[in-house]
Structure 1
């Protein structure tokens, strides 16, 4: 695969959008062919608006795409895959937030998530190769629930160990394992 035919890595952030110290932001800055779904200005909690933003970002890319999603970004990618047919080369789905379970204080409630179109979590197999990485101590998703999602989506499941929610609050900045998991999808 030459640099010109290599897939574009499309970053799909979660509900907190772009965080300078987040591994996704750091990954994007060091990759040659990378893009990111831009932050929403309005309807920030709307699943449909997030899916539309992902679809717009995908439409701007010529050639193959590998999605790199984190947290609610995983759910955005999964919802997108249920209604769109653009071929995707593969997806790294890291630390998906379990939006069907009550979240810690400071996060949207189940009622709010349902009102904004996030529920239920789609469970159909994804139409592209994917890897789901799960943390054993993620405050936003139980390990066994993420393992079940991976099975439903037809994804390869990777036990990431105790990495919290794989975000700056859990000590991640750089996440070197992302590089090797992405290479598997290329």
Structure 2
């Protein structure tokens, strides 16, 4: 599949993805990409975030590929069983946050816990770092297996965002292109 063959829906996480974040850069670079906008980026509501994903997927005029980062990954996982069958062709998931940890960001208030463990109804890949402060690699690997996702070890990469030096993230864009090619 080529980017022109699908609607790429960018699903950012908590506080949104800033101008230098790889998701924002991809949105600007890929003509078929657009962001799933949330009413509140700073006080996330699972129901509202899932609802917005459902709306945007239903409105898409082409097959959909989801690109989630951080809390956006969990919003996609919670939305997955509610999505129209066959409309979503795949999900590229980066930096799963472990919202089940007792020390997780209090503002999220566990709204996205527990982490769904049912297999995702579409092909997916989960990219996880060994030094992500929001999720241990072993937990990400366990969730990837539960979801039926391919797991990619990103090594010592932090949370794979602009703050960890992954603003442009050309390796991620190449991996995304490879993922699309297999769909």
Task: Give the TM-score of the pair, scaled to structure 1.
Answer: 0.88
Q: How do 1:41-80 residues align onto structure 2 when only pairs under 5 Å count?
A: 41=40, 44-80=43-79
- Choose which of 156, 162, 167 in structure 2 pairs with 1:173: 167
Partner of 2:97: 97
* Unpaired segments ≥5 residues, structure 2: none
1:108-123 alignment runs, 5 A limit? 108=106, 112-113=109-110, 116=111, 118-123=112-117
Q: Is residue 153 from structure 1 mapped to residue 147 from structure 2 by the alignment?
A: yes
- The answer (yes or no) to whether the contact 1:102–1:109 under 8 Å persists in 2 is no
Counterparts of 1:68 and 1:103 in 2: how far apart (Å)?
26
Unaligned runs of 5+ in 1: none
RMSD, aligned α-carbons: 2.0
Aligned partner of 2:31 in structure 1 is: 32
| Secondary structure of residue in 1 paired with 2:106 | coil
Question: Could you tell me how far apart the structure 2 residues matched to 1:146 and 1:18 are?
Answer: 21
Q: Structure 2 CA distance, aligned partners of 1:85 and 1:156?
A: 22
Write the deviation string for residues 87-133 of structure 1: whole angstroms up to 9, x where unpaired.
211111101111111345xx2268x21xx3x1211000000000000
**TM-score for both structures, normalised by structure 2:** 0.90
* 2:57 counterpart SS class: helix
The alignment covers a number of residue pairs equal to 179
| Residues 151, 29 of structure 1: alpha-carbon distance in 2 compared, 3 angstrom cutoff | same
Corresponding position of 2:12: 13
